[in-house]
Amino acid sequence: MPPLRIALYQGPGGVPATTDVSLDALDAAARRAALRGARLLVAPELYLTGYALGARTAECAEPVDGPGAEAVARICAHHGLAVAYGYPERAGDLVHNSVHLVGPTGETLAHYRKTHLYGDYERTHFTPGGEPVVQADLDGLRLGLLVCYDVEFPEAVRAHALAGTDVLVVPTALMRPYEFVAHTLLPARAWENQMYIAYANRSGTEGDFAFAGLSCLAAPDGAVRARAGSGEELLVAEADPALLAASRAENTYLADRRPELYHPQGETHR
């Protein structure tokens, strides 16, 4: 099975004037990614609208099958690659911080609502999701979805590892001064859970938020296959099934677990 070429779009900073601005930039990034052989393009958390919406969050939210999703489906079908992107999702009276994964012919592959909300800002404007593991298959690899703060919880990533996720796709909005998450935590998560982690961050500033950039593809051997700087950038790197199999054979963390010992009071583990 050939490697999966993954593009990470570390998009421009600032809240876009309209969603159409984000979609135009996504279309351009998808064209460049496809020309470089990518089969998957990952955009940041709340990519369609920008992160710092504040009181406008609810009015900018749209349903999972809304106009933004329809536009991304056309982009995917036109360029022949899958796209994962973040957006504020309206579900009845609730608003979720969600990521939508669209396949290379424009079909919906998966949809995930952020389960761990970061800080008072997110808890004010969003309702957390309740489904911890959402997956889809692409070109023979099992993709899993999380959003930003989710990946900082070892339980969330381990749940994906136990469910067989090969590539964990993480749209994010990592802020300064927490660069250590991108530099240190992500390679450790990839190593301890034997998976690739595709982490696409925002860049620049929005209101009081300064984003760290540093998007990356972390590999199961603990190496970082590609790393962005602090500005707008499009990375392309490969998730290699052969390396994944070899790393899992050498590193037997998952097989050597003793879940019968992991029962702190008030928690359950499988």
Domain range annotation of the chain? 4-261
pTM of the model: 0.96
Cα–Cα distance for residue pair 176/209, rounded to 1 Å: 8
Which residue numbers are catalytic?
45, 114, 148
| DSSP secondary structure letter of residue 174 | P
- pLDDT by residue for the chain (270 residues), tens only, comes to 999 999 999 987 788 989 999 999 999 999 999 999 999 999 999 999 999 999 999 999 999 999 999 999 999 999 999 999 999 999 999 999 999 999 999 999 999 999 999 999 999 999 999 999 999 999 999 999 999 999 999 999 999 999 999 999 999 999 999 999 999 999 999 999 999 999 999 999 999 999 999 999 999 999 999 999 999 999 999 999 999 999 999 999 999 999 999 877 655 555
Cα–Cα distance for residue pair 172/149, rounded to 1 Å: 8
Fold of 4-261: Nitrilase/N-carbamoyl-D-aminoacid amidohydrolase (3.60.110)
Q: Across the chain, which distance is largest between two alpha carbons, in Å?
A: 53
Q: Which residues pair with 95 in a beta bridge?
A: 90
Q: What is the pLDDT of residues 72-85, one digit of tens each?
A: 999 999 999 999 99
C-alpha dist (Å) from residue 188 to 80, 99, 204, 225, 266: 32, 23, 26, 14, 27
